[in-house]
Amino acid sequence: MSWSLAYGSCHHQSKPAPALLTIASTKPDVFAWLGDNLYNDYSVSSDFCEPISCGTWPEALRSRGQAWILEQLARRAPRLAARVARRRVRQHNKRAGSRDIEALQRNYATLGGKYEFQALRSAVPRQIATWDDHDFCRNDAGSTCPHASTSRALFLSFWRGANATAARGQRGGVYEGYMYSVPGGTVQVLLLDLRTWRSDHLYPSPHDAGGCVSSASEGLDCGYCAQPAGAMLLGEEQWNWLAEEMRRPATVRVIGSSLQFGSWPHNRNGDETWAAFPHEHARMLHLLRETRAEGVVFISGDLHYGEISRVSPSEPDMYPLYDVTSSGLTQSWPSFATNDNRVSTVVRDNNWGRLQVWLEVEEPRVDIAIMGVDGTPLANVSIPLRELRFAGRL
């Protein structure tokens, strides 16, 4: 008998989400929302959508004809389309202001009343969640979000109950850990918060081929620079918590990250991933070795496509780390980034993730699959638990 965790990300509250109905029919033990659980972007006419893939290009020119032209651009020249999108998003961010919170409150109400969401919540009462940029603040936002505390209160109230903020005491952010008893052992699920403490992006300099600037208005519209030592992704509070959690006994550990952990290397024209924070990525590997935490697998979202990555650390005794990215439940993207650690096909259709833990079998294992909307496996990996141990352990 297996224990199952379903998960997903990038879910627009106003779009049909048949994947949620499929997930509900499979009745996993737990469902994990990995961020962008709703979208708080809105157009100048107050239409809620995400830049580019909502189909209305909110910050672009207004007519239907112009929108159609830009949609064709996204299909035929995705890099150029991405540059246009970033520019429009930055313009949106400059004039959004307090309207973000007003929109966010309405969006939570829309999500809560959505038929597919209600069906999933009824079929799978155990639901856990973390956030990403669109339900935290706005596209690619970090610690300088001007209304992070209000956004956090809304998130915690919606996902964890009216008293959730008070229950956290002095803890910041929305990170959380869960321990589940399963046949033959325990599964620990750790949901990270990659927004509350994240350093602001650096942008490629238009005057220096290898240089970076801190201001979006002065940088190029072609992506982000890799962050230097000292830049934060998790923040010290969360790192200390994670170290304590890693020392707790568990048979399998599932780390839920809103951003992809497994992709490598960072591309200046690429997406937000852990690779853009190489020192934080290295710190995670060091923490796993220091705490001797075994049985670790990563699940992630954000990218609007799915894939499986395998990280082979250079440390001689470290075991390989798998990251199975599922994105999005309703969102899609016209292109995908380079990833030297990719070990599967890229899933471009809407999808969700399924993780199954098998402990009471001859060969204990973790099976993780990227599932189509109809429940068809589109990419999968079966990982024997013996592979997720440090060298020298039996």
> Please, which pLDDT band fits residue 53 given cuts at 50, 70 and 90?
very low
* 307-311 β-sheet, strand order: 176-182, 185-191, 252-257, 296-300, 321-325, 307-311
Q: How confident is the model at residue 238, as a pLDDT?
A: 98
In this structure, of 9-18, 131-140, 289-298, 354-363, the range with the lowest mean pLDDT score is: 131-140
Q: Is the pLDDT of residue 235 over 80?
A: yes
Tell me the per-residue pLDDT of 374-389, one tens digit each, with 9 for 90 and over. Answer: 999 999 999 999 999 9
Q: How confident is the model at residue 346, as a pLDDT?
A: 97
User: What's the whole-number mean pLDDT along residues 74-102?
Assistant: 66
Tokens of 261: 């952990």
**Percentage of the residues of the chain whose pLDDT score is greater than 90:** 67
Q: Is the pLDDT of residue 271 over 90?
A: no
Query: What is the rounded CA–CA span in Å between residue 301 and residue 33?
Result: 9
Q: Which residues lie below 8 Å from residue 364, measured CB to CB, with a gap of 6+?
A: 184, 251, 358, 384, 385, 386
Residue with the bigger pLDDT between 362 and 100: it is: 362
User: What's the whole-number mean pLDDT along residues 1-11?
Assistant: 96
Q: Are strands 365-372 and 351-358 parallel, antiparallel or unpaired?
A: antiparallel
**Percentage of the residues of the chain whose pLDDT score is greater than 70:** 85
User: What's the whole-number mean pLDDT along residues 329-358?
Assistant: 94
pTM: 0.89
